[in-house]
Amino acid sequence: MLCDDTKRILAVHDLSCFGRCALTVIIPTLSAMGAAVVPLPTALLSTHTGGFDNIVFRDLSDMMQPILDHYKMMDMKFDAIYTGFLGSAGQIDTVAHAIDMFGEGIPVLVDPVMGDDGEVYQTYTPEMCRRMRELCRKAEIITPNLTEAYLLCDEDYKDTSVLPPNEALAEAERLRVKISELYGTKKLALTGVELSDDRIATISYDSTCRERESVHIIHKVKYGYPGTGDLFASVLLGRLLSGMDFHSAVDNACRITAEMITDTAKYDTPRREGLRLEKNIYKLFE
């Protein structure tokens, strides 16, 4: 009998039923890449919170720990843990416990979803930002955008797009070094560094690699869509689990995310509905 070598990932995210983000992006993306996703939903929403009214919402915090306890009783093993937007300090505590329960010897990717475009999300209190910093110390891989990098460093946001490109990249590098020193991060992808020449950069850092740092630059795409960060981190993790090195995995995730945004922008798909993932899933096999 053949051995089943399918990678199993514990994914701690919300389930927004409409709008292509969080688990509705993560599950098909990682499944297409050959991994089995075990979701640990943090909340159930009729839609995501960007651009919709009268949203139906249910917090699932009280179910998260019992689900983890059941998995422990089953002696379930995971090949990676991936966590994103969290709705409360209590949920951050539960994720930290999940990492303690299941995370030994496996990649733990924390996407510290706290804000974007220089603004902290309304649901994130100073306490939650502090607790997210604590959670990042438990991660092997973190994927902050530029806003979140400043939050992790406890600094005021700076718009890199008004700086000359070399100064913007130098500022991103400074943040990367500070984060690595503060959190002991082995692998980091700092995304969303906007340059003044209509390009956007991602800085990747891998302390285990001979070439520790790499810069990945793509042309800035006009539109933004919900779920792009979830897609980026999913592709990154999927490539790592397939054996790709970190810098190459970051580069691949940047390229695929940009291509899906570019394709979606050709159509009249409302931005709040997210990327045309179904029509672009084939890009994962190219």
pLDDT at 286: 79
- At residue 74, the pLDDT reads 97
- According to the model, what pLDDT value does residue 4 have? 86
Residue among 265, 112, 257 nearest 175 (CA): 112
Looking at residue 8, its pLDDT comes to 98
Residue with tokens 């792009």: 228
Residue range 42-95, pLDDT digits in tens = 999 999 988 899 999 999 999 999 999 999 999 999 999 999 999 899 999 999
Q: How many CA atoms lie within 13 A of 267 on its CB side?
A: 14
pLDDT value for 53: 92
The two most distant CA atoms of the chain are separated, in Å, by 60
115 phi and psi, to 5 degrees? Answer: 180, 180
Q: How far apart are the first and last CA of the chain?
A: 31
The whole-number pLDDT of residue 209 equals: 86
CA distance linking residue 191 with residue 121, whole number of Å = 17
In 3D space, the residue among 152, 190, 151 whose CA is nearest the CA of residue 170 turns out to be 190
This prediction has a pTM of 0.96
Q: What are phi and psi of 180, to 5 degrees?
A: -60, -40
DSSP code at position 226: T
Positions of the chain with pLDDT under 50? none
Burial environment of residue 231 by CB neighbours within 10 A (0 to 12, 13 to 18, 19 or more): buried
Note the pLDDT of residue 81.
Answer: 98
Exposed/middle/buried for residue 136 (C-beta within 10 Å: 0-12, 13-18, 19+): buried
pLDDT of residue 224: 85
Query: 């949920």: which residue's tokens?
Result: 91
- Helix%, strand%, coil% for the chain, nearest 5: 45, 25, 35
Per the CB < 8 A criterion, the answer to whether 36 and 8 are in contact is yes
d(CA 182, CA 252): 27
